[in-house]
Structure 1
């Protein structure tokens, strides 16, 4: 999350994956019915929302913002996510990959989410695209600046307030918070000179306050890097300047093709960066192969449309980045 100089909040993420997801901006209209892989009757939404998604016999969004100013994003929780193996007739049964759709379509604030989350039963149901149960956890925020992380493990669903306003992949959220204690020396200004015996040590230029900032592409290191960048980046005054600022913050954790490879020749990379302007109710998407930013705003016509509206990136609108 990022707050600009005027108090406006933004939620931004990188989508990092090896499999080509093919996501593009989508607007889901109000009062929409979704089919579900976990429940025969599916589920209904009330609020309109926009984000990055794909039509896979029904739209699945992985991040976005709704008309009430709630933003949400999925993140990988590999090795730790545990979901229900049986349906619960007293709750709404959802597959993990359907949670963002439900949140954005039905939740008006983080406080509202906290009151509704226990009515969900998230089940171990496979995603059609991946042919597997996708291990996910979620970050959810609203335009007041409230921010939570949702994690479901073998002990059940947990809702954590996120004071750092950053989240990455595994390990669990509390582990990431505790790990910040290893980096209390980080600061944007330089460290002072030191004496070692009779030797006087001076820093080589500015930036020594960030010595020890991890630079690798693990989720652990990217959490620290994002937290440091977010905390110290100058606050922009305009929406356009804010999108520019979060773009630069995320560039510090973006994964170029080839630098995070497996032993079989495959590699994960940042397929796009997504920026959610919570007060504005707008979604911005910046794909890897074309750094042009596409902006989608929920208009009354889009919110009342009979079907979702999709914006293929090859027909994108250019966002004029003006500070």
Structure 2
């Protein structure tokens, strides 16, 4: 379970951010994948090639798997869980690029230069129902993809095929499907950042107790439905920062509203989802920021020419001394 939002600062720079909410310890860390890299694939023994360098959160599992990140063209992308609705191809298709669901981010960030470019190329991609070695299941996923122009789409593949949908809200969570979430926002048109005015009941005039009454009815639970509404409202009304550090700071506060502490979202088997980290993708800057649950330190990774032209991926283990100071 995860939440993802886009954000534009006062200078017009765009960012994509996400919480990674999961019960299984993923062990991800910042990674830079160089240009012109060949990936092995669980769906096709030939694997697939990439052209663009990119950075994000990932792990080496007999080959790197990234779950979010940003590439050198300013495209950001993130995986989110799509339980009960995701449906992928039964087998590889000759003449197409065949990938497993957990490999889609690598293909997008390694080959796509914009949202428009993604729309042109997505028909050449065949996502095959192959299990992930770490989870031993076919991971049900959908994806949010954005670029530095502010364009944003959600990719969902279900029993009716692949859907590429423009995301005007610039928010995504988990199941139900994206169109359902958009329709559900119609139930919250009364929300506003200012207080509601007084209201008469007969001869009695009621007054709100303090500021904030405009947000009465904003859902506060941790379901994907409620997190979508909450993230959409808070994102829409958060002040625009003037700098990149200020923007990362603003995003951290937005994601605070949907972050899941350990223990509050448990299953019946003793496990619990929690926000293992928050990832921030600075699309104009081409930088990735990662904030883990345990110490809230933000680590920043920028794609330098040396990293982009390296022979192999470069990992950056999270260290407390790599502190990022947020200044407005």
The interval holding the TM-score normalised by the smaller chain is: over 0.9
Q: Which residue of 2 aligns with 1:16?
A: 21
Task: Work out which of the residue numbers 158, 174, 178 in structure 2 matches 1:173.
Answer: 178
Instruction: State the match for 2:216 in structure 1.
Output: 211
Contact 1:294 1:316 (8 Å CA) reproduced: no
Equivalent of residue 112 in structure 2, options 107, 120, 123: 107
Per the alignment, residue 191 of structure 2 pairs with 186
Once the two structures are overlaid, the 10-residue window that deviates more, 194-203 or 308-317, is: 308-317
Match of 2:66 in 1: 61
Question: How far is the alpha carbon of 1:197 from its aligned partner?
Answer: 1.3
Q: Which residue pairs with 2:3 in the alignment?
A: none
Q: 1:251 maps to what in 2?
A: 256
- Report if the CA contact (8 A) 1:78-1:136 is conserved: yes
Gaps of 5+ in 2: 1-5
User: Out of 122, 126, 133, which is 1:128 matched to?
Assistant: 133
Deviation of 1:315 after TM superposition, in Å, equals 6.4
CA distance in 2, matches of 1:148, 1:58: 27
TM-score for the superposition, normalised by structure 1: 0.99
* Counterpart residue number, 2:41: 36
Give the distance between the partners of 1:7 and 1:314, measured in 2 at CA: 31
Q: Alpha-carbon deviation of 1:155?
A: 0.6
Counterpart CA distance in 1 for 2:279 and 2:112 is 20
Give, in whole Å, the separation in 1 of the partners of 2:276 and 2:48.
Answer: 29
Residues 216-246 of structure 1: per-residue CA shift (max 9 Å, x gap): 0000000000000100000000000000000
Counterparts of 2:103 and 2:320, CA distance in 1: 27
Measured in 2, the distance between the counterparts of 1:316 and 1:136 equals 34
Contact 1:13/1:275 (<8 A) preserved? yes
Which runs of 5 or more structure 1 residues have no equivalent in the other structure? none
Q: 2:300 aligns with which of 289, 295, 298?
A: 295
Cα separation, 2, equivalents of 1:239 and 1:93: 37
Alpha-carbon separation, structure 2, partners of 1:137 and 1:316: 34
Q: 1:75 — aligned with what?
A: 80
Q: Measured at CA, do residues 166 and 235 of structure 1 come closer, stay the same or move farther in structure 2, by a change above 3 Å?
A: same
Correspondence list, 1:81-100, <5 A? 81-100=86-105
**TM-score, normalised on structure 2?**
0.98
Distance 1:254 1:159 in 2: 27
1:128-277 matches, cutoff 5 A:
128-277=133-282
**2: CA distance, partners of 1:197 / 1:144:** 52
Q: Distance in 1 between matches of 2:77 and 2:89?
A: 22
